[in-house]
Structure formats: C-alpha cells, structure tokens
Structure 1
Amino acid sequence: MIDHSVKPDGLAFVGVLTTYNHAGSVEEGCTFFHSMSNTYGFTPQIVHYGCLVDLFGRAGLLAEARALIDSMPMEPNDVIWRALLASSRIHRDIEMAEYATKKVLESAPEKSGTRILLSNMYASAGRWNDVAKVRLSMRDKGVRKAIGSSKIDVCGTIHEFTSSDVSHPKMDRIAAMLSEMSERASSPTADLAAAPVDYVAIAVSEPQKKQDAGVVCVSYLVASR
C-alpha cells in the first residue's frame, strides 16, 4: 500500500497486527503498533489495543498485557478483558484469570462463558470449593450456561445435536454405535494419549478421566461420520 501511495486505514492495521499476533512476533508487533501514530499519523483504536493485548497474552506476557490495558487512553471493554482471560487460561495463571473475570463481569455480567471458563480453571487445579462457589454464584444470579450444540452435513442434510438431546430419528442406531465404540475406546489397549483431559469440570479420578476422554473421542468420531 505504501509503495502505491495508498494510506493504510484502521482495518489494514488490524490485519498486520493480527499477522504478528499469530506469528508470535512480539517485538515486531510492538514496533508496528507504535509506528501507527509515529509514522502514519493514525491514532490506535480499541481494536488495535486488543490485538496487542492478545499478542502479549499469547506469548505469556500477562503482566505486560495488563499494564497495556491499564495505560489505554480509552475505557477497556469486555472484549479486551476476555482476551486477557483467555490468555490466563492458556498459561494457567489463575490469579490473573480471577482479575480479568472480575473486570469482564463489571461490564458484561450476563456472560455465562466467563464464569464457566474460570470454573474450569479451578477444576483443572483441583480447587473444587472454588468451582462450587462459582456455580452457586451463577445459580443465585440466574445465569445459565448456553446449551452446547453441534451441526454436521450428511449428504446435503444438516443434523444438529444439542447436549442431552435424544430427539434424532436415528438415535437408537447412534446410541448403539456410540456404546460399541465407547467400549473399544475405554479398553486397556485403546490409545487415548492424544485425548485432552486437563480441563475436567467435576471432581473425578484419573482412571475416570481416561474413560471420559474415550467417550469424548467416540462422540467426535460418531459426529464426523
């Protein structure tokens, strides 16, 4: 754009910052962010600060991300704080996650996903009393978790499955196949090494985690057929 004497706009800056973000190029991203005003005379907007917060967070620089938020010339919104919360989950920083959760709920108290994410972090750390406190708080405030659903396209027909849904016309066949594959997946010879079992939202033993991981794998395979 510069070579063709075209002045970049806010959207172009977002694109470049996002590229640095996914590449993990912190130093280059920071340099470019400052060049927006110093070189191009463009005042960064909240979306550009959000890109930089996410860049710091992905790199594990959570303190720097928080310092940036505190120095923003505008009031950070819930999107900014959720970016910090997501990074806190990735890097398992519960203290920072608690702080980010508090800030998110100040501006968007209806967001159930925020509380669920913090609850899952507590569960991963074995802090079951804190899990219970979060769940009780959700119940007392009337906050409900959105029902999860999945959609698959089979020969041009869209099939949607929601949590605990048994209304599908072929549910008997699906359940039978799921049961058979679940038995195979949970057998001693099944390889579940790749199954994610870190974030378990209820208190279960390690063997139970492995068994549940098998069911997760099977559910994915059934939905993919």
Structure 2
Amino acid sequence: MQILYKNICLVTIAIAAVGAIAISVITIPKFSNRPRYQLPSQIDLPNWRSLSSQPLNLPLDSLLTAHQYLYNDYSRNHQVRIDAIYLNRVSSFLNIIKNINIQYIESTLQLKYAANIGHYALFADQDQAYLASCINPTGQGTLTEAQFNSNQHHIDVVLSRLGSYLLGTADLRDYRCLFTVISMPIAKTASTQVNYQYLEKSWIDWHRFWQDKFPTDY
C-alpha cells in the first residue's frame, strides 16, 4: 500500500510538472517577475524593547533581502542585535557566516537542538557571542543542507505546493531560508554561557514570531 501511494504521488507530480510547463507558455506571469518580499521595518518581541532597525546589504548570491534589528531587554542591561537574512537558496551556516565576515573561536562552537524549534549554533569571538540558524518554510531551524533537505523531502510538503506551482507563483520545491544571526557583546563580568542563555531566550521569541509568519512570497 505504501509503495502504491508513493507511485501515485510521483505520477501526480509528473503530471503537475507537464501542466505547469503548458500553463507557463500561455498567459500566467512568472512568479520571479512579481514584487519581492521585504522584511518588516519593525518586529515586536515579548521581553524585548525594539530600539532601531535598518536594511542590510550583504555579499550573498542567494540574497533576497536582509534587515538588522536592535533590542534591549526591559531591564536595559542587555542589548541584542538580530540580522535577518532572507535567502532563496539554502547553504550551511558555516558558509554563510564566513561570507558575511563573522569569525569565531572554534572551541566556543556548540551545536544545539530543541524540540519544536530545531537546530541552532552558539559560538563566540573575543567580544561577541552569537546564535545562528536557518528558519525554513516548515518552521524548523536547520544548520546544514542535509537537515534542510530532510525537512523538504516529505511528499506532503511537495504536494502542498502543487497548486501554486501550477499557477506559476512558486517553485515545486521551496529552498527559501530566513537565516538568522543573533549577537550580543560579551559581558566582562559574566561567562560566555551566560551570554548564550540570553541569546537562546531571544531566539525562542524570534522563532515563535516567524512560525506562522514565514513569508509566502519571494
């Protein structure tokens, strides 16, 4: 029964692909020509006071748009910076942070996983502590291409996009990633682990915001 279901799904996808090609030749505009999604100028997070934001221009080939947000916690003792980098092609987090000139001390790198949130990385240099992860359309955070592809290989994920694909408004596979880097200065009177705890706190709030607000457009 499982093999039969899989074969039916594959045939359905093949038929959809042929139909999409036929439709695209006729009248439906290409989704790539539609207006690009822009990240919000302000994102309100619980437990954090929004200070400012600005667009980012980064040297990434797959960049769609990027924005930087600054926050204080309500005690005003800790400030965090969140760089939201919206990509149309996923890559490993190590490649991305290298391309945006973030360096770190290898011994500080910690790879973490949290249920309902996914994978994320913690690391630091001499002055800053960082948290990085890619929020993908399924809502889970990933760090590697293998983790991202694992989330995308479910047949129901592909089938859910057939309608948009046939209308020429989306790819059959969704490779988008909201790559997030959260950083804060390392306090001289506190250990790096204390900074990591604050980063994880802001990451939970940030991830929760995007769970039901992930962009529907490119």
Instruction: Output the TM-score relative to the length of structure 1.
Output: 0.20
Task: Looking at secondary structure, tell me which structure has more helix per residue.
Answer: 1
Q: Which has the higher contact order (CA 8 A, sep 6+)?
A: 2
Task: Looking at secondary structure, tell me which structure has more strand per residue.
Answer: 2
Instruction: Output the TM-score relative to the length of structure 2.
Output: 0.20
